[in-house]
Amino acid sequence: MRKQIRKEQRRMQRESKVVADFYKSDAWEKTRKAYIISKYGMCERCNSAGVIVHHKTYITKQNIHDERITLSFDNLELLCRKCHNQEHFKDEYGCVFDDEGNPIAPPK
């Protein structure tokens, strides 16, 4: 049982490294900056200062090389930290979503 969990953690670490590398890429940095400018640096939900460019379709290892997902303005949303947290932690019960947008149960 424990082994299973560790295997799963390793898989997630590998996956998050692929995603982390994308977020460090020049292509993303350029797209991110251009997108922020196009939205006048304002959170699209509450109009306070936008700091995070969120992917509406979450990035995964499977779609990381699909520029229509990773670099298309259509899939981006400029959010402040608060709205971004709300997006990823949808409700007060702590229901969170995995990278594919599936709800996952809160840790007991």
Tell me the residue ranges of DSSP E strands in the chain.
52-55, 76-79, 96-97, 103-104
d(CA 88, CA 101): 9
Q: Could you tell me which stretch among 16-24, 31-39, 60-68, 75-83 binds Zn ion (CB under 5 A)? A: 75-83
Residue of 12, 27, 46, 104 interacting with Zn ion (CB under 5 A): 46
Counting Cβ atoms within 10 Å, is residue 103 exposed (0-12), middle (13-18) or buried (19+)? exposed
Q: Does 45 bind Zn ion (CB under 5 A)?
A: yes
3-state secondary structure of 67: helix
Q: How far is the CB of 90 from Zn ion (least distance, A)?
A: 12
Q: Does 80 bind Zn ion (CB under 5 A)?
A: yes
- 7 vs 17 by CB, closer to Zn ion: 17
Q: How far is the CB of 44 from Zn ion (least distance, A)?
A: 8
Q: Interface with Zn ion by CB under 5 A: which residues?
A: 43, 45-46, 54, 80, 83
